[in-house]
Amino acid sequence: MEEFKEFHTEASWNLSVDEKLLKALGNFSSKIVERTKVCIRHMDELSYEIADSEVSLKNTFNEFLLLGNTQFIENVSKHTTMQSYASPIYIRLP
């Protein structure tokens, strides 16, 4: 912004001042475009990191569900085995 302050104090406006202003505006525009590209790159990186975190979180939930299901199956099979020893099974033959 310092480069624009000199135009404020210019007593007589002429073609050379117009050229300086054009160069200053071009530089200013280039800086804004460059900073915007950097911001977009950072936003893309953040988006990838968020997606990676989401996948990790879903994997963790799936591992907990798998553990719970495995324990349930083990408990059911243990309970079923214990019941089969406790009560005899009678089969009626014709």
State the Cα–Cα distance between residues 54 and 64, nearest whole angstrom: 15
CB burial string 48-64: b at 16+ within 10 A, e below: eeeeeeeeeeeeeeeee
- Please state the pTM of the whole predicted model: 0.57
Where do we find the tokens 């990838």?
48
Mean pLDDT of 6-22: 78
pLDDT in tens, 28-60: 999 999 999 999 999 999 999 999 999 999 999
